[in-house]
Amino acid sequence: MKKILLSTALLSATAGMAAAEVTFGGYGRFGLEYVEGRAEETQVAMRLRFNINAKTETDSGVTFGGRIRLQYTDGNNASTISPAYVYASYEGFRVEVGNSNTAYDSAALMYNSEMGYLDTSAGDPIGSYYGFASTSYGGETDRMGIFASYSVGDLNVRLSYVAEDQAEAGNNDAELSFSADYKFGAITVSGAYAKDGLAIDDNDLIFLGAEYAINDMGNVGLLYFKEEVGAVDRDKFTLYGNYTFDAITARAYVAFGEDFGTEETAFGLGADYDLGGARLSGSIQSDFDGDMFGDVGVRFDF
Is residue 244 part of the contact set for a second copy (CB under 8 A)? no
b/e map 162-198, b = 16+ CB within 10 Å: bbbbeeeeeeeebbbbbbbbebeeeebbbbbbbbbbb
Q: Which of 36, 91, 93, 167 is close enough to bind a second copy by CB under 8 A?
A: 167
Compute the least distance from the CB of residue 110 to a second copy, in Å: 23
Q: Which of 5, 214, 217, 248 is close enough to bind a second copy by CB under 8 A?
A: 5
Is residue 1 part of the contact set for a second copy (CB under 8 A)? yes
CA distance linking residue 71 with residue 79, whole number of Å: 5
Q: How many CA atoms lie within 13 A of 195 on its CB side?
A: 9
Is residue 284 part of the contact set for a second copy (CB under 8 A)? no
Is residue 248 part of the contact set for a second copy (CB under 8 A)? no
Closest CA to 100 of 85, 119, 78: 85
Strand, coil or helix: what is 13? Answer: helix
Do the bridges between strand 187-195 and strand 218-229 make them parallel or antiparallel, or are there none, so unpaired? unpaired
Where are any strands of DSSP class E within 36-186?
42-57, 63-73, 80-81, 85-90, 93-98, 144-152, 155-163, 174-184
Is residue 160 part of the contact set for a second copy (CB under 8 A)? no
Question: Contact 144/174 with Cβ under 8 angstroms?
Answer: no
Q: Which of 36, 37, 56, 186 is close enough to bind a second copy by CB under 8 A?
A: 56
How is residue 199 annotated by DSSP? G
Q: Which of 68, 159, 206, 220 is close enough to bind a second copy by CB under 8 A?
A: 68
Q: Which of 112, 117, 144, 206 is close enough to bind a second copy by CB under 8 A?
A: 144
Is residue 46 part of the contact set for a second copy (CB under 8 A)? yes
Is residue 39 part of the contact set for a second copy (CB under 8 A)? yes
> H-helix or E-strand containing 9?
helix 8-14
Q: Which of 157, 176, 250, 278 is close enough to bind a second copy by CB under 8 A?
A: 278
Is residue 57 part of the contact set for a second copy (CB under 8 A)? yes
Q: Which of 37, 59, 90, 130 is close enough to bind a second copy by CB under 8 A?
A: 59
Choices 78-86, 122-130, 207-215, 255-263; region in contact with a second copy by CB under 8 A: 78-86
Is residue 136 part of the contact set for a second copy (CB under 8 A)? yes
Residues of this chain, 9-28, that bind a second copy according to CB under 8 A: 9-11, 14-15, 17-26, 28
* Residue 20: CB atoms within 10 Å: 11
Is residue 302 part of the contact set for a second copy (CB under 8 A)? yes
Compute the least distance from the CB of residue 53 to a second copy, in Å: 7
